[in-house]
Amino acid sequence: MNAADVTTLNRYFGIPEQVNFKDGPGGLTVAEVTNSLASATIALQGAHVMTWAPQGESPVLWLSRAAKFAPGKSIRGGVPVCWPWFGPHAQEASFPGHGYARTVMWEVVKTETLADGATRLTFRLIETAATRAQWPHPSEVTLMVTVGRTLALDLVTRNTGKEPIVIGDALHTYFEVSDIRNVTIRGLEDCPYIDKMDNGSRKRQEGPVTIGAETDRIYLDSSADCLIEDPGLKRRIRIAKRGSRSTVVWNPWIEKAAKMGDFGENGYLNMVCVESANAAEDVVTVAPGGAHSLQVVYGVERLP
C-alpha cells in the first residue's frame, strides 16, 4: 500500500475519534492519536513518535521548535529509532549515523484499541534496494507503539535469514524538562560508562547524573529503571525497559546545539536524551529464526 496515501490509510487503519492519518509538516504523513488517556503524533517516516502527553499533562517528549521536517531527514526530538546500528557504522563511514531506520518509510501493519482505552499502532520498516545495500541481511523490524497513560514502545528485530545477525539499536528519546541544570537522573549509579566527551575513556558513575556541560555517555550493563526528576515541572519521568543493556545520556549544550541548527534558541536547556539502547559491546546477536525485542515504558509520576 502507498504509505503516503492518507485516504487509504484512514480507510484501512483509521479509528474514528482515535487514529487519524493526515499530511503533516514537510510532506510527512503522520498519525494523530487521541484517546481518553493521552494524545500522540507519529510520523510514518521512521515510525517516529513526535509527541506524547497523558491527558492533563504537559508534553513529555521534547520536540525542537526548530525541528526540520523533510523526507529523508531525521526529526530533532520525539523518539528517533536507531537501527540496525548505533552511532557511526563500524566499517563504512559513509553510512548514516544511528542507522537508516529513522529516515526511511515504515508501513502501518495494524491499529487497535486496547481494553483499558489505550491505542496501539504497529509499524514495519519498508525495505528497499537502498536499505539492502547498507544491510544485506534478511530481517524484519517492527515497532509497536501503545499510547496510553504510559507510552510503551516495542522494537522487534526478527532474523529471517540463515546466519546470525548482530544489531545495535536505540530508542533515542528526547524528554522535555523545565531546565536541564536542575534535573537529576537516577538509576545509573555505579554503572560503567564510555565518556564520548573524554576520548571514549571508561569511567564509573558515582551517584545520580546531573548535567551542566555537553554530555555524551554510553552507560553499559544498565538495565534498571531510569528516573528523570524535574522539580520545575514537579514530575518524575520513569523509564522502564527490557532487552536493553545500554543507556545513552546526551545533551549537546550551547555550542554543539548552535552548530546543529535544528535545536532552536536555548532548546538544549529544555531537553535531555535518555536512550534505551544496545550499543558498543552491548550489541545483540540474533540467531537465525530468532528475535530480539527492545521494550520501554515511559510514565509520569508527580513530585510533591
Residue 265 CB contacts under 8 Å (≥ 6 apart), including other chains:
none
Nearer residue to ligand BG6 within complex by CB, 229 or 275: 275
Of the candidate residues 48, 89, 172, 235, the single one contacting ligand BG6 (CB under 6 A) = 172
187, three cell numbers: 538509576
- Residue 216 near ligand BG6 by CB under 6 A: yes
Closest CA to 171 of 189, 157, 187, 153: 153
We find the least distance from the C-beta atom of residue 280 to ligand BG6, in angstroms, to be: 11
Q: Is 172 assigned a catalytic role? A: yes
Catalytic residue among 48, 89, 98, 172: 172
Q: Is 275 assigned a catalytic role? A: yes
Closest CA to 43 of 55, 53, 52, 56: 52
Beta-bridge mates of residue 148: none
Q: What angle do CA 60, 62, 64 make, to 5 degrees?
A: 160
Kindly state the DSSP code that residue 9 receives in the 8-state scheme: H
- For ligand BG6, the binding residues in 117-136 under the rule CB under 6 A are none
Nearer residue to ligand BG6 within complex by CB, 96 or 148: 96
Catalytic residue among 48, 176, 229, 275: 275
Nearer residue to ligand BG6 within complex by CB, 101 or 108: 101
Of the candidate residues 45, 51, 64, 74, the single one contacting ligand BG6 (CB under 6 A) = 74
3-state secondary structure of 197: helix
Q: Are 38 and 139 in contact (CB under 8 A)?
A: no
Closest CA to 121 of 105, 109, 138: 109
Of the candidate residues 248, 257, 271, 296, the single one contacting ligand BG6 (CB under 6 A) = 248
We find the least distance from the C-beta atom of residue 38 to ligand BG6, in angstroms, to be: 25
Q: Give the integer Cα–Cα distance in Å for 191 and 150.
A: 26
Report the chain's terminal Cα–Cα distance, integer Å: 49
- For ligand BG6, the binding residues in 43-72 under the rule CB under 6 A are none
Nearer residue to ligand BG6 within complex by CB, 98 or 235: 98
| CA dist 119 → 18, 87, 102, 169 (Å) | 8, 31, 22, 24
Q: Are 43 and 26 in contact (CB under 8 A)?
A: no
- For ligand BG6, the binding residues in 90-109 under the rule CB under 6 A are 97-98
Of the candidate residues 62, 219, 250, 268, the single one contacting ligand BG6 (CB under 6 A) = 250
Nearer residue to ligand BG6 within complex by CB, 13 or 268: 268
We find the least distance from the C-beta atom of residue 196 to ligand BG6, in angstroms, to be: 6
Could you give the residue numbers annotated as active site?
172, 275
Q: Which residues bind ligand BG6 (CB under 6 A)?
A: 74, 97-98, 172, 196, 216, 248, 250, 275
